Structure 1
Amino acid sequence: MEPLSDAKIVDSWQKNALTWISAVREEQIESRNLVTNQAIIDAILSRSPNSVLDIGCGEGWLARELTAKGIHVMGVDVIPTLIEQAQAAGGGDFFVASYEEIAEGKLRASVDVAVCNFALFGKEPVEGLFRVVPSLLKPRGLFIVQTLHPVVACGDSPYQEGWRQGSWAGFSSNFTDPAPWYFRTLENWIELFVVSGFRLMEMHEPIHPKTQQPASVIFIAEVAG
């Protein structure tokens, strides 16, 4: 298996699914607890949706939070173990699906908001997903993405698009075989929205209260035209 590839991302998450579930449910990840969880919840609630599609939903924590607010949530993820745990915990309708399958039209949905919360780490499957998201939205529907802030996540590497080695730095030692990820600059992200048929409406940079650096970047986009 190519070490810097979308297939390797899925392979890594399959290996680390149970460890990830523990990390999320035991609130082991500081940035999530202090900043990014509430940031994505607030971004979604600011649009007052009745229905949300959580793409790359993991074990379903966001779906449970939104369902508690009276929102109907559908969640999809490529990792069966994560979906099994999401189904067991409730709070939405959950299905196993890869981004490639979604791009091929195998997911039927019509929602007010589609959200990807730290779930876009690959290349071609992510690009294919972006192209199909407009078809999953109701008229005036929105696509909300929270991801690593490129300026901070770049570190000392060149600020240019391309594959990067993965790392579990800052996570439990129980995690193994970190997934690679495809780095995009802010310009690359904005371009991806535009070429996929979106108009970027807002961009937010949630600040970590300890480091005073952006903990993430959140894009809110609508279908253009």
Structure 2
Amino acid sequence: MKISPEQQIITSWQLNVKPWVAAIAKGEIESRVLVTNTAIVDAINACKPKTLLDVGCGEGWLVRALAANGIDALGVDVIPAFIEIASKHGLGRFREMSYEQTSFTALQEAFDLVVCNFSLLGENSVHHLFQHIPSLLNPKGRLVVQTLHPIAGCGAAAYKDGWREGSWAGFNSDFCAPAPWYFRTLETWKALFAHNGFTIVNTIEPRALDSCQPLSIIFDAELI
């Protein structure tokens, strides 16, 4: 039986919890340590939220960083091991939940800001999540997304939407079974926000310190 790309993403993360947590703890992902972690925290703080939902929170570093600054932050992730590890630190709140389950009906609370930090890898799961995010936001709520920059991340492949093979290039040998990911052009990203009731109010392109190459793109969008 063929496993769908969406399920392959989940399976990959289930297999790579330990090496990922170790890599984060040791600061092995240089682009995050030097640029993109600070970029997402700064983008969120600029919105001045009192409450926040981190979708695809992983081991919970972002929730903890924001909770330490006084933000009431909740992280959700489909991987039970990530939620177990995140909950042990004592900062922020965490719940096991898939993107398909993430909704106001399930959480029974709304937030000033929803953030997705390098966590939107799928196709249908992302569309489903975007449809439900408006119900999770307070009036004038914000959606902040950091993802791989479409132009810088396209590589030699054609610049069009579609599934791409995953890779752990640049990571240590403990990682295995890289997850596929769904590539979106810049225009497709913009349309995804617009079709779900958001207007992008700010676009940030964090860049490598030693070059002009963007390491990511951050969309800061407001619910219309």
Fold match, TM over 0.5?
yes
**1:103 CA drift (Å):** 5.0
Identity %: 50
**1:68 CA drift (Å):** 1.1
| TM-score using structure 1 length | 0.96
Q: Distance in 2 between matches of 1:217 and 1:206?
A: 7
Q: Distance in 2 between matches of 1:90 and 1:52?
A: 17
Mark the runs of 5 or more structure 1 residues left unpaired by the alignment. Answer: none
The answer on 1:120 being equivalent to 2:120 is yes
The answer on 1:30 being equivalent to 2:34 is no
How do residues 83-98 of structure 1 correspond to structure 2 at under 5 angstroms? Answer: 83-98=83-98
Q: Distance in 2 between matches of 1:125 and 1:170?
A: 27
**1:4 CA drift (Å):** 5.9
Change (3 A) 1:186 1:113: same
Q: Distance in 1 between matches of 2:184 and 2:197?
A: 18
Q: Deviation digits for residues 77-136 of structure 1, max 9, x if unmatched?
A: 000000000000121110000001115842322111100000000000100000110110
Cα contact 2:103–2:135 (8 A) shared by 1? no
Q: Distance in 2 between matches of 1:139 and 1:82?
A: 31
Cα contact 1:36–1:215 (8 A) shared by 2? yes
Task: Name the structure 2 match of 1:173.
Answer: 173
How do residues 32-181 of structure 1 correspond to structure 2 at under 5 angstroms? Answer: 32-103=32-103, 105-181=105-181
**1:20 CA drift (Å):** 0.6
* Residues paired across the two proteins, number: 224
Q: Deviation digits for residues 5-47 of structure 1, max 9, x if unmatched?
A: 1010001000001111111111110000010000000000001
Q: Distance in 1 between matches of 2:86 and 2:187?
A: 34
The answer on 1:189 being equivalent to 2:189 is yes
Cα contact 2:206–2:216 (8 A) shared by 1? yes
Change (3 A) 1:52 1:103: closer
Structure 1 stretch displaced more, 95-104 or 76-85: 95-104
Cα contact 2:148–2:217 (8 A) shared by 1? yes
Cα contact 2:104–2:135 (8 A) shared by 1? no
Change (3 A) 1:50 1:104: closer
RMSD of aligned residue pairs (Cα, Å): 1.2
Change (3 A) 1:43 1:104: closer
Cα contact 1:4–1:181 (8 A) shared by 2? no
Task: Name the structure 1 match of 2:11.
Answer: 11
Cα contact 2:75–2:93 (8 A) shared by 1? yes
Cα contact 1:142–1:221 (8 A) shared by 2? yes
**1:211 CA drift (Å):** 3.6
Cα contact 1:103–1:131 (8 A) shared by 2? no
Q: AA paired with 1:98?
A: S
Cα contact 2:204–2:218 (8 A) shared by 1? yes
| TM-score using structure 2 length | 0.97
Task: Name the structure 2 match of 1:204.
Answer: 204
**1:196 CA drift (Å):** 1.1
SS at match of 2:127: helix
Task: Name the structure 2 match of 1:223.
Answer: 223
